[in-house]
Amino acid sequence: MKDLTLKQAQKDVDDWINTIGVRYFSELTNLGQLMEEVGEMSRIITRTYGDQSFKKSDEQYDLSDEMADVLFVLICLANQTGVDLSEALAKNLEKKTKRDAERHANNEKLK
């Protein structure tokens, strides 16, 4: 499996949607899909690292697959709304670096 850049991932998802997927679902439908996929990911994490135990019906879930589902739908939404995720993430990291330059290092809760 090749390493993907965010740009390539956005292109690959767009290619898949326009060939196999036929067309994008509406933005609102994809938002609903994103929430559903985040919920499935949350179920696995809360049962793996939290206090609840797995039910028999939970055994089919795979954390990496659920994370990939979340990423896929997020990429769909980015493509639909014209967001370049590479650029957006770079700007977001820059913002966090400036804002939190000393915040976390000085947080007693993290020591």
- pLDDT score for 1: 63
With contact defined as beta carbons under 8 Å apart, do 33 and 25 qualify? yes
Q: Is 13 exposed, middle or buried (0-12, 13-18, 19+ CB in 10 A)?
A: buried
- pLDDT score for 104: 85
When comparing pLDDT for 107 and 30, which is higher? 30
Q: CB-based contacts of 84: which residues, under 8 Å, 6+ apart?
A: 7, 10, 78
Q: Check: pTM over 0.85? Answer yes or no.
A: yes
When comparing pLDDT for 53 and 71, which is higher? 71
Fold of 6-85: Helix Hairpins (1.10.287)
- pLDDT score for 101: 82
Q: CB-based contacts of 57: which residues, under 8 Å, 6+ apart?
A: none
Q: Average pLDDT in the 1-26 region? A: 94
- Quick: pLDDT tens for 70-106: 999 999 999 999 999 999 999 999 999 999 888 888 8
pLDDT > 90 in the chain, percent: 77
Q: CB-based contacts of 66: which residues, under 8 Å, 6+ apart?
A: 37, 40, 41, 44
Q: Average pLDDT in the 52-78 region? A: 92
